[in-house]
Chains A and B, each alone.
Chain A
Amino acid sequence: MGSEFDPQIPSNTVAYFFREAFRRIWISKRTSFVAVAMIAVSMLIVGFFLLLSENLGRAAEQAQGKSRVDIYLSAEATPAQVAAVDRYLAAHRDLARRRFVSSDEALRRFTSYFANLNGIVAQLDANPFPASFECDVAPQLMQSPAFGREMKELRAIGGVDDVQFDWEWVRRLKRVVNVVNIAGIIAGALLALAAAFTIANVIRLTMMLYHEEIEIMRLVGATERIIRGPFLIEGLLQGTFGALLAVALLFGSFVAARRFIAPANSLIWSFLFNGFLPWQKIAALLAGGMIAGFLGSWLSVRESGEESA
């Protein structure tokens, strides 16, 4: 006989939800594909921004980790002047860790980093790259006003043409990373919302298709949780498939771009294709797709309760 009100969840309910959800996705393949594609496109765009900001961020970290002061010598600097600069640096507490880069070495580096510009370099009559000293310094030191004053003094030494330190560049790069992150989040959120609405419509269509079954379920005593469960799981699965597809496409594009687009030894490309997303960001992409899918199906099922005339 029927029992008193006892809202227990049976052990096979979750299996039933998944079985039904998979079956409904399979039956409505075309509409499900549209929903999955929408999620995939949204997550792909979010993933692209994440990948870009990840690699720019890594470049900024690397630059920050190896904060450097470059002291460029003028082409006319005499050996005595170069020796005087070297002595000055050796005596300085923060600039003592120095390397001398001859103009030939600078040219070799350039041709290695920008291999595609080798043709132009070959047409030059003389080596345009000056010799320099490279000094590694602590990043926090470069931000102090005293350091700025010292660099001014250094510029005044005979034979020194220019002094550059890259903190400002790192700061700008970090700003770019932040902008890319924010743009990615905004674009991703808007697209994910659009995808959620697509899924909501797909689920609404499925619910119309199963209108009669839903009515029978209600009349025989199915709870709303049992009726809605498969639809919620359907949205969740569509979101998951979409996000998995996005991660796969992103990884495929990344590998292909690294292999076929980025020239070997190019500094800029090596920044952009330094590495793929870390697992935390991949997990965040998957979670984003799942949430968008679940939100879409929830939007549909929440309005589907029984109406009592």
Chain B
Amino acid sequence: MKQHRMIHFYHVTKRFDAYSTALNDVTFHIDKGEFVFLTGPSGAGKSTLLKLILRQIRPTEGQIVVNGRNLNAMKRRHLPYFRREIGMVFQEFKLIERMTIFENLSFILTVIGLTAKEHKKKAYTALRAVGLQHKMNYYPLQLSGGEQQRVAIARALINDPLMLIADEPTGNLDPDLAQEVLEIFNSANLRGSTVLLATHDRDLIERSNRRVIALDHGKIAEEKIAAAGKPAARSESVFVNWS
């Protein structure tokens, strides 16, 4: 395994039962420092693929290697330390409503073991990066959907993750806000984080000039560089007309 690879899926299949195959013989890799879009229609397998990377679920067949670690062989007790290297932005935000914005961020720092002294500085820096430092004492329900999404991104960024994974982070946002959110991911990528962003938003992808992995019916339908228009070196499977 080459050291420059951050994520490597090797013939990964995920079946939930005999009639439901979420991913079928998927092979691809993402290098360290890359910014990759994951796209495809609903039910294509995007969320399953993200869950496999976080090892929320295990593959039925195949191997997944993330940052040099084979997830199939990873011991359960090592899982939390592995996940601390990943900043995850969930589609439904997953903010804790009873906590203020600051507490939502500080809570993460507590559970990953940072001291209270480090909390304030890190939380403030992460909120400033998404332009919400002035709302740190608000509760999630006092914020708009876009603001809640930015808090979720701040939470993912707070521990300077090696990898940033986002599931439809712009799904609830208007185009201007979506562009702002994309800029946040771009700057995290510039700071060295590998970014994998699952989205339906074709405009966003077109504007980005990034590699795109398109899934369809659990298979990789296409890999290409958006906007530049030419396919990237693809792994396997069928090409379909994605755009």
Residues of chain A touching chain B, judged by Cβ–Cβ distance below 8 Å, are 1-13, 16, 212-213, 215-224, 226-227, 305-306, 308-309
Residues of chain B touching chain A, judged by Cβ–Cβ distance below 8 Å, are 16, 54-58, 76-86, 88, 94, 96, 108, 110-116, 155, 159-162, 192
The reply to whether A219 and B84 contact each other, CB–CB distance below 8 Å, is: no
The reply to whether B113 and A309 contact each other, CB–CB distance below 8 Å, is: no
User: In chain A, what residue has the closest Cβ to B51?
Assistant: A309
Contacts A8-B113, A10-B113, A12-B110 known; A3 to B81 CB distance under 8 Å? Answer: yes
The reply to whether A1 and B160 contact each other, CB–CB distance below 8 Å, is: yes
For B82, B108, B111, which residue has the most chain A Cβ atoms within 10 angstroms? B111
- Chain B residues in 8 Å Cβ range of A216: 94, 96
Give the residue of B88, B96, B112 whose beta carbon is less than 8 angstroms from that of A222. Answer: B112
For A216, A221, A227, which residue has the most chain B Cβ atoms within 10 angstroms? A221
- Chain B residues in 8 Å Cβ range of A215: 94
The reply to whether B80 and A223 contact each other, CB–CB distance below 8 Å, is: yes
Contacts A10-B114, A13-B113 known; A222 to B80 CB distance under 8 Å? Answer: yes
| Interface Cβ pair total, 8 Å cutoff | 85
Task: Give Cα distance in the complex from A309 to B52, angstroms.
Answer: 10
Task: Give Cα distance in the complex from A164 to B57, angstroms.
Answer: 82
Closest CB of chain A to B155's CB: distance in Å? Answer: 8
- Chain B residues in 8 Å Cβ range of A11: 115
Dominant SS at the A interface?
loop
Known contacts A220-B155, A227-B111, then 18 further A-B pairs from the complex at CB < 8 Å, ordered by chain A residue:
A1-B160, A2-B81, A2-B160, A3-B81, A3-B84, A5-B81, A12-B110, A12-B115, A212-B94, A219-B94, A220-B111, A220-B112, A222-B111, A224-B77, A308-B56, A308-B57, A308-B76, A309-B16
The reply to whether B57 and A220 contact each other, CB–CB distance below 8 Å, is: no
Q: List 11 A-B contacts (CB under 8 A).
A: A2-B86, A2-B160, A4-B81, A7-B77, A10-B114, A212-B96, A221-B80, A224-B77, A224-B80, A226-B113, A227-B111
User: In chain B, what residue has the closest Cβ to A4?
Assistant: B81
- 7 nearest A-B pairs in the assembled complex, by CB-CB distance: A2-B85, A221-B84, A222-B111, A10-B113, A221-B83, A5-B81, A309-B57
- Chain B residues in 8 Å Cβ range of A13: 110, 113
Closest CB of chain A to B18's CB: distance in Å? Answer: 15
The reply to whether B76 and A306 contact each other, CB–CB distance below 8 Å, is: yes
User: In chain B, what residue has the closest Cβ to A210?
Assistant: B96
Contacts A212-B94, A308-B58 known; A221 to B162 CB distance under 8 Å? Answer: no
The reply to whether A9 and B113 contact each other, CB–CB distance below 8 Å, is: yes
- Chain B residues in 8 Å Cβ range of A222: 80, 111-112
Task: Give Cα distance in the complex from A4 to B159, angstroms.
Answer: 14
Closest CB of chain B to A142's CB: distance in Å? Answer: 65
The reply to whether A1 and B81 contact each other, CB–CB distance below 8 Å, is: no
The reply to whether A220 and B84 contact each other, CB–CB distance below 8 Å, is: yes
The reply to whether A7 and B81 contact each other, CB–CB distance below 8 Å, is: yes
Task: Give Cα distance in the complex from A226 to B111, angstroms.
Answer: 6
- Chain B residues in 8 Å Cβ range of A220: 83-84, 88, 108, 111-112, 155
Task: Give Cα distance in the complex from A267 to B83, angstroms.
Answer: 71
The reply to whether B56 and A219 contact each other, CB–CB distance below 8 Å, is: yes
The reply to whether B110 and A219 contact each other, CB–CB distance below 8 Å, is: no
Task: Give Cα distance in the complex from A123 to B118, angstroms.
Answer: 87
